[in-house]
Structure 1
Amino acid sequence: MSILAKIPFSSLASMPLSPDASITDFRHLASYNWIDSITPTIAVPGSPDKWSPPSGPTRLKKDTGYFYTAQNAARHPDSPLEPLFRALLLTHPSFDLRSIDIVTDRNNLRKLLSFVDPGSAKYGAEDFTIQVEVIGETVVFCRRDAEVMQYIAPNEFRGYGHEFEKAYTTSQVKDSTGHHRIVEYRFGGLKFLVRYEVDGYVSPTGKSDAAPKSWPGSKLKVTLVGKPVPPEQCLEIKTRVAHKPLQMQDVMPQLWVSQTTKLVRACHSRGVFQPPLVEDVTDAMKRWETDHTDKLRKLAAVIAEIAAVAKRSGGPVLVKYSVAGNQLVLSSNDAGKMLPNDLYGKWKLVTEKEEVSPAKTQSMGSDGKGTKTVRKGAASRR
């Protein structure tokens, strides 16, 4: 593994910045739920849990047991990003992946934002690693976590968040263990495809069922279950002790990255929750974006630099940040491919119906089939 580039925090002030620091052209594309099964199984489009709060004050027990911190990697370690593409291409079979500049989980963007703006994270920046692979002209970011699950022992206290969701929402998909969304938008002059998890929704939706689907060479099974839920109905849930309520600036980076406009801030006193409200944070999100223009321009510049280094490297890249060094270190990476082989074909330069001109032939590989060189990368939290 050789070092390709370093991006020290001190260099951000002199980086060329994009004039574009806002998210535009936001569009929800697809969604899925993970299903509790021995075989990796997702339901498309699935559905978030329905917001269905009990009336009056409610006492909850504290969280205990095992919980996912990176469910895609935990349930499908062979290719944590595969469900994103399966759900997307089942929902939009003709979607042109070549139109996308960056594919990533929300978590990666939050980590990179915490690098350029440590104040955006509640506890400041923390060490992290992101794996990067170039497919055609698209740069794919895959989160890599040391642990994909956490265990909360009975004698520990980590709050009431999981128990609150169980008590205040109702599952709409049988055996669901989490709902994930795929959206696209423009930011910093680049087109993004972003995956993230939501906690619930605030309007009813129906259900549908169909036969499962599978692909040769893939262990992932897909069932067609659920009905699409518009993004404006999705919500994020946060729980806090009453004497330390959640401040909007502490959650806004997460909401902004996924453009989630509904928020529940539930407060408790010794485990007793008062009836919470669903807040519309659309205006607050716009103000936050305007107030953080400088930081967001730096975020866009860092993402563009990582993409440029990855494209120049001719191979997959590992992005590592350490608090001690306070810099991003980009190194070559020799891990395996991120995706099943059939998905790489979705980045073909020329379809079978297109006529191959001499100019196009010269731009292809020696086999003349019109596929760009596929770089090898690796697959590995919300």
Structure 2
Amino acid sequence: MMENVDSLVHTVSANEFALNDAIVSSVSGCETLCSYNWLKDGSGIVVPGGPPQWNPQPLPCTLPKDAGYSLEDAKAAKLPTYPYEPAFRALATMNPSTKFDDIDIVTRRNSLRKLLDFAAGKAIDPFRMDLHMVNDTLFISRKEASAAFMIHGAHNSGHGHNFETRFTKPGNGLNQSHSHHRVVRYLLGHLNCVVQFEVDAYYDDDDGRHSGPSQPQDPVEDAVASMANLSTRHARGSAFLAGAINVIHEGDLVDPAKLAELKLYGKNRRDPMPQIWFSRTPYLIEGRHVEGEVRSIRCTHVEAQFGTWEKDHQQALRKLVSLLDLLKSIVSGTENRSAILLCTDKGAPLTVFAAKNLGAVLPNDMTEMFWTVKDGVI
């Protein structure tokens, strides 16, 4: 946790910052920028990839306990040198003309969840996040425990992984890939944010039960046009080396209105709404089990609940915006425009340290591609 940590720059307490003036709402919509799957052996990514399809099974259905990833998986997988390189290689393949000059924050969904809990005054478990400024954009990178965790998820999650495996089926040509990732852009208060997250599945609502009005998403026509452009540049199934990332063109971009979060619960149900809201995932599919026997399934169109949830949590959300503003200001003022954010103990304040020898968040060709050079500097 303390690797590359230098001198203390700032200590942040939960009551240090006030509510931001801007209302936080999802009503302005969400734009999909790119997507990809990891190859199971961690050797590259599949673009655009695709989430597995929800595939209901007869109930009750007994699941074995998750065994976790294999030793071979752990040995084969390597953390990328640049934490956001896979996402930006996918972006360079799907939407190469995108510019990030007006983007305030690039982060992963999990980091926003942790920072929201802190802003809400909750005692959070220890964590580390690496902070980098690229031009006027703050990157927040979670410090991964291992490459296998990044690609395959937690080593032991009860029956959750086997629930996903049993109740979903991979898309055509995607059997050797794993963990579908999306990168989206939306407003968080006044902040223009790009958020990366993992998608569990997609759900085809064939009977139209949940076909009522939904909040604005990026038009399906734009997604189709993006895929058409991708198809003209790279033949399906083709592979090419982009930087240090092996990229394979396979899969179809699934309509964001079909994406689903899967949850399996035993006795205790944890609130999934922060996770779902930060990724703008429209469906929640929940399974109930007793000692691995799945006895019931419920599918909810949770997008319809976003407005109520954000109204109930408006104070914490606006404090989160203030916290992100503060972090951006702090990191911008450091000598190397990089820092390390730590929570060292459960319930402790956040501490920001200057970073020594902290590697770049992106390779040079990616920063040059997506940011405008100002006075010869990015």
**Structures share a fold, TM > 0.5?**
yes
Q: Kindly indicate whether residue 376 of structure 2 is the aligned counterpart of residue 344 of structure 1.
A: no
Cα displacement string for residues 28-70 of structure 1 (whole angstroms, at most 9, x for unaligned residues): 12110001236x21011101011011123211111113289xx
The answer to whether the Cα contact below 8 Å between 1:3 and 1:331 also exists between their aligned partners in 2 is yes
Unaligned runs of 5+ in 2: 1-5, 150-154, 206-223
Give the whole-Å Cα distance in 2 for the aligned partners of 1:30 and 1:67.
29
CA distance in 1, matches of 2:124, 2:275: 14
Partner of 1:139: 138
Quickly say closer, same or farther: Cα 1:94–1:256, change in 2 above 3 A.
Answer: same
Aligned pair in 2 of structure 1 residues 317, 157: CA closer, same or farther (>3 Å)?
closer
Matches within 5 A, 1:363-374: 364=375, 371-373=376-378
What secondary structure, in the 3-state scheme, does the structure 2 residue paired with 1:309 have? helix
Whether the 8 Å CA contact 1:28–1:230 is kept in 2: the answer is no
Change (3 A) 1:317 1:339: same
Displacement of 1:277: 2.5
Determine if contact 1:67/1:149 at 8 Å carries over to the other structure: no
DSSP-derived class of the 2:239 partner: coil
Which residue matches 2:250? 225
Q: Structure 1's 57 and 143: CA in aligned 2 closer, same or farther, altered over 3 A?
A: same
Which of 204, 213, 236 is the matching residue for 2:261? 236
Structure 2 counterpart SS, 1:63: coil
Matched residue type, 1:32: Y
Query: What does residue 259 of structure 1 align with?
Result: 280
The RMSD of aligned alpha carbons is 2.7
**Counterpart residue number, 2:241:** 214
Once the two structures are TM-superposed, the CA of residue 290 in structure 1 deviates from its matched residue by 0.4
Identity of aligned residues (%): 30
Cα distance, 1:345 vs. partner? 1.0
SS at 2:297 equivalent: coil
In structure 2, the partner of 1:31 is: 35
- Contact residue 103 and residue 192 of structure 1 kept, 8 A: yes
- For residues 81 and 112 of structure 2, the distance between their equivalents in structure 1, rounded to whole angstroms, comes to 22
Q: Is the 8 A contact 1:101 1:137 kept in 2?
A: yes
Q: Is the 8 A contact 1:348 1:372 kept in 2?
A: no
TM-score by length of 2: 0.81
Residue-pair matches, total: 334
Aligned partner of 1:65 among 59, 62, 68: 68
Question: After superposition, what is the alpha-carbon deviation per residue over 1:223-282, rounded to whole angstroms, capped at 9, x for unaligned?
Answer: 1111101211111111111xx2525xx111101111112011100122211241321012
1:10 is the counterpart of 2:15? yes
Q: CA deviation at 1:3?
A: 1.5
Contact 2:124 2:346 in 1 (8 A): no
- Is residue 326 of structure 1 aligned with residue 353 of structure 2? no
> Could you list the per-position Cα deviations for residues 266-305 of structure 1 after superposition, in whole angstroms to 9, with x for gaps in the alignment?
0012221124132101222221110010010000100110
Q: Match of 2:33, as an amino acid?
A: L
Question: Counterparts of 1:20-59 in structure 2 under 5 Å?
Answer: 20-23=23-26, 24-37=28-41, 40-59=43-62
Q: Which residue of 2 aligns with 1:307?
A: 328
SS at match of 2:281: coil
* Within-5 A mapping of 1:143-292: 143-149=142-148, 158-172=157-171, 173-203=174-204, 209-215=236-242, 218-241=243-266, 244=267, 246=269, 250-292=271-313
Partners of 1:129 and 1:342 in 2: CA distance: 27
Q: Distance in 2 between matches of 1:163 and 1:336?
A: 36
Return the offset for 1:89: 2.0
Distance 2:48 2:177 in 1: 12
Whether the aligned pair in 1 keeps the contact of 2:19 and 2:315 (CA below 8 Å) is: no
Q: Which moved more, 1:110-119 or 1:88-97?
A: 110-119
For the residues of structure 2 that align with 1:239 and 1:88, how far apart are their CA atoms? 32
Q: How far is the alpha carbon of 1:147 from its aligned partner?
A: 4.5
Cα distance in structure 2, aligned partners of 1:107 and 1:327? 19
- Deviation (angstroms), 1:112: 0.6
Aligned partner of 2:93 in structure 1 is: 90
Closer/same/farther in 2, CA of residues 44 and 88 from structure 1, 3 Å limit: same
**Would you say the 8 A contact 2:100–2:371 is kept in 1?**
no
CA contact (8 A) 2:289 2:296 kept: no
Amino acid at match of 2:247: V
Structure 1 residue runs of 5 or longer lacking an equivalent are 151-155, 351-362, 365-370, 374-382
Q: For residue 177 of structure 1, what is the amino acid of its counterpart?
A: H
Give 3-state SS (helix, strand or coil) of 1:178's partner: strand
Partner residue, 2:109? 106
For residues 285 and 25 of structure 1, what CA distance do their matches in structure 2 show?
11
- Distance (Å, rounded) in 2 between the aligned partners of 1:102 and 1:67: 35
Contact 1:76–1:220 (8 Å) recurs in 2: no
Alpha-carbon offset, residue 75 of structure 1: 4.0
Contact preservation (8 Å) 2:66, 2:158: yes
Amino acid at match of 2:80: P
